[in-house]
């Protein structure tokens, strides 16, 4: 696997992201997993804390959600947060 696809940082939660350090290093984008990273698996939409935090992050970074969940799970988060989504194909859901 190419090195640029391997996480270089592991944190307790998204609120521990060292924004200032990443900006100083020239980081332009952040990629987030959805389930158990942005939200619990039983949450259907982002809570207000997540929405406010992502609004702050969007000032300095391009944000993405990368998920192996189907679009019906991921899309409400992308819509509410106003960020790009990369998710699994929904073809398996149609079987």
Q: How much is the pTM?
A: 0.82
pLDDT tens for each residue of the chain, 95 residues long = 566 667 777 889 999 999 999 999 999 999 999 999 999 999 999 999 999 999 999 999 999 998 988 888 999 999 999 999 988 766 454 44
Mapping DSSP onto H, E and C, the string for 50-66 reads: HHHHHHHHCCCCEEEEE
Report pLDDT for 4. 62
* Rounded Cα distance, 15 and 49, in Å: 10
* Rounded Cα distance, 41 and 38, in Å: 9
């Amino acid at each position: 696997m190419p090195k640029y696809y391997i996480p270089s940082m592991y944190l307790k939660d998204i609120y521990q992201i060292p924004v200032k350090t990443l900006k100083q290093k020239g980081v332009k984008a952040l990629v987030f997993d959805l389930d158990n990273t942005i939200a619990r698996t039983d949450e259907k939409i982002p809570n207000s804390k997540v929405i406010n935090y992502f609004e702050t992050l969007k000032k300095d970074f391009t944000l993405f959600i990368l998920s192996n969940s189907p679009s019906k799970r991921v899309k409400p988060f992308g819509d509410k947060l106003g960020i790009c989504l990369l998710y699994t194909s929904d073809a398996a859901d149609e079987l």
